[in-house]
Amino acid sequence: MNLKQLSEHLGLSQTTVSRALNGYPEVSEKTRLRVQQAARQLNYSPNTRAKSLATGRTHAIGHVLPISASHEMVNPVFGDFIAGAGATYSDHGYEIVISLVKDQDEAEAYRSLHARGSVDGIIVHGPRMRDPRIPLLRELGLPFVVHGRASDEPDPYSWLDINNQRAFERATEFLLDLGHRRIALVNGLEFMDFAYRRRLGFEKALSERGLRADPALMRSEEMTEIFGYRSAREMLASDQPPTAFLVSSMITAIGIRRAIHEAGLEMGRDVSVITHDDDLGYLKNGHSVPIFTATRSSVRVAGERAAAMLLDCIRDPGCVPKTQLMEAELIIGASTGPAL
Amino acid sequence: MNLKQLSEHLGLSQTTVSRALNGYPEVSEKTRLRVQQAARQLNYSPNTRAKSLATGRTHAIGHVLPISASHEMVNPVFGDFIAGAGATYSDHGYEIVISLVKDQDEAEAYRSLHARGSVDGIIVHGPRMRDPRIPLLRELGLPFVVHGRASDEPDPYSWLDINNQRAFERATEFLLDLGHRRIALVNGLEFMDFAYRRRLGFEKALSERGLRADPALMRSEEMTEIFGYRSAREMLASDQPPTAFLVSSMITAIGIRRAIHEAGLEMGRDVSVITHDDDLGYLKNGHSVPIFTATRSSVRVAGERAAAMLLDCIRDPGCVPKTQLMEAELIIGASTGPAL
DNA sequence: TTGAAAGCGGTACCAA
DNA sequence: TTGGTACCGCTTTCAA
């Protein structure tokens, strides 16, 4: 059922039917009602492709995911982020288009997404400290919101970020308060902005107590499980093993748990582990309660908000860049969820 | 840059340029080369919306994710599945459209996706044992492949599934071999097909040793963390606590680990845990090695294959339904990844 | 081997 | 308040 068929069925012109369905004021209430009813009854939905060709709006948002050639896995927080964003989009009649792109030809992906006219706007995931995608998108004139930040980007742009620095600062302070002095930082690649900021927070907390970060206890790589396993195994085998681990990813934490286990140690008793992106934390010194920094539900909320920012920005093309910094829910000594 | 501009620039008709770019044989090699070069140079990409309006093909695949109103979280395996599917799609010039849908109005979502003409085919996620989506999609004539199966569906349809029954059967056998007799099954909702099959496997392994599943050790609910926590806490506090847990989701396993920890027990020493969907398993009886059923990378491969099946099915509209059963990589006593 | 022109299914301007 | 019609950017038939 298309517009032509519907209008013939009603004995009206396509114009009138289109107007009635899209809420234009110049159509009489009587006809509008008749048209709406018929549309519902005959199960008419306008063809999105035709609509976007005519209007120049696609009503679709692109999410471009860089996939590193080496491990090809998607960051697990992505699912929660997209769930939040998707809820906002569908409230406003937008679709999500996902583009998985090998990181070497990312710029090309944005260019082509724009040239082919398949999206009205873009959410940028996984920003680097200096990220060429930002000037590129600006040049293309394609509205975008960055999930995260690019510290070295001089010009303003819209972003929404978790306060990574503060989260790791607080987690470090917390471990210091418990008496830990040898705290390991198992971080992501530090050209990624979030990882850079997390290290800043870690170092800041230490230096404010007059301590210095020990390079032997700091690792930075792509956040795989094997990386966590190797890092923890090496550090635990050293002369001065860490008493606590601060970890950037739940996947990496799996490897760390395994190394701890293989070393004959017990988490929470012999070694403490705090993980970003929602995993169960284990603390020594009598603290058997879970610790998170950044829960899955807060990632979802981040998705909702980023999507709302982007839609605003699409609606008002002259809008000035907006920014939003969310504090991570660092839950210490509390429960993991509602109504426990 | 659109086709008209490009053709004017070349002094050719739109027809010829279109033919040259789409590999039609009737255009001379000389013009084809000239056209291709100009297209590259001027950064021309055909507008997807116009193209799909003209051809009736959208070159987009829909992935509809049912979101339960209660917890609104996306199953974490989805990210890996979509990564695999996306790789296959982009090799063939297809886009992914994600639709997040509250489970009550799912049927409507498929209808509208079809009526609005936004996809050429659909991957169905999270099938129930009897799933109304399958007859619906058949009726709509929209090509689809089910990720999973619907046991009660009488007519043939295309699916790709992990052998859930066999995976849980093997994991149960393994625990029985280690001497476990009180094994808990913490399962997903059993109207979901995968959960039903996992229980079958669990029960089969027990009954083949002349044992019967103890209802007190079997739970089935939506796979949240809190569900895992509560289930494990209750069972561990009973007169006859389990010595091992077989768990359907890495998220639920987080709650179980927490309950074990709070009970003053240690995983791998006092209690064994084996989790589906890639998490670290902890085994008592001297087995400190990791155990998985269904790794993240196998989920990725499942995505690749399901996508390939769907594309086949779109290319050949008269194709008969195809099916594919993948054995879960049940890794016991082996390493978690390559080159450990 | 090339081009003109009629769609694909809508929207939106202009006229009635 | 309604309808005719030109377009949006591409494909495809038919004619040259």
* CB of B57 nearer than 7 A to strand D: no
Nearest to B97 by CA among A86, A66, A105: A86
Q: What residues in B contact A90, CB-CB < 8 Å?
A: 99-101
* CB of A3 nearer than 7 A to strand C: yes
* CB of A26 nearer than 7 A to strand D: yes
pLDDT band for B337, please (50, 70, 90 cuts): very low
Mutate to test the interface with A, among B40, B45, B47, B49 (most CBs of A within 10 A): B49
pLDDT band for A111, please (50, 70, 90 cuts): confident
* CB of B53 nearer than 7 A to strand D: yes
pLDDT band for A238, please (50, 70, 90 cuts): very high
What Cα–Cα distance (Å) separates residue B270 from each residue in B174, B182, B187, B284?
Answer: 17, 13, 21, 6
* CB of A249 nearer than 7 A to strand C: no
Q: What is the pLDDT of residues A251-294, one digit of tens each?
A: 788 788 878 878 888 777 788 888 886 555 566 554 444 556 66
pLDDT band for A332, please (50, 70, 90 cuts): low
One fold for A60-161+299-326 and A164-298: yes
Q: How far apart are CA B86 and CA B137, in angstroms?
A: 22
- State residue B336's pLDDT score: 32
Q: Is A229 on the interface with B (CB under 8 A)?
A: yes
A:269-298 residues touching chain B, CB 8 A cutoff: 279-280, 282, 288, 290, 296-297
Tokens describing residue B61: 């695949």
pLDDT score of A106 more than 90 = no
Q: Domain A164-298, what fold?
A: Rossmann fold (3.40.50)
CB A306 within 8 A of CB A145: yes
pLDDT score of A326 more than 60 = yes
pLDDT score of A311 more than 50 = yes
Question: What's the alpha-carbon Rg for chain A, to the nearest Å?
Answer: 25
Residue B115 CA distance to nucleotide D15 C1' (Å): 36
pLDDT score of A73 more than 70 = no
Q: What is the pLDDT of residues A118-153, one digit of tens each?
A: 999 999 998 999 999 999 999 999 999 999 999 999
- State residue A286's pLDDT score: 46
Tokens describing residue A12: 């009206």
Q: Give, in words, the CATH class of B60-161+299-326.
A: alpha beta
Stretch B1-24: mean pLDDT, rounded?
Answer: 92
pLDDT score of A49 more than 60 = yes
pLDDT band for B338, please (50, 70, 90 cuts): very low
The mean pLDDT value of chain A amounts to 86
Residue A50 CA distance to nucleotide C7 C1' (Å): 13
Burial of A317 (C-beta count, 10 Å sphere; 0-12/13-18/19+): exposed
- State residue B217's pLDDT score: 98
Q: What residues in B contact A267, CB-CB < 8 Å?
A: 261
Helix (H), strand (E) at residue B103: none
pLDDT score of B93 more than 80 = yes
Per the structure, the residue whose CA is closest to nucleotide D9 at C1' is B50
What is this structure's pTM? 0.88
Mutate to test the interface with A, among B57, B98, B284 (most CBs of A within 10 A): B98
Lowest mean pLDDT among A33-42, B92-101, B323-332: B323-332
CB B87 within 8 A of CB B304: yes
Give the CA count within 13 Å in the CB-facing half-sphere of A98.
Answer: 31
Domain ranges in chain A? Answer: 3-42, 60-161+299-326, 164-298
Q: What residues in B contact A53, CB-CB < 8 Å?
A: 47, 49-50, 53
pLDDT band for B333, please (50, 70, 90 cuts): very low
Tokens describing residue B138: 């058949």
* A116 closest CB neighbour out of B45, B74, B338: B45
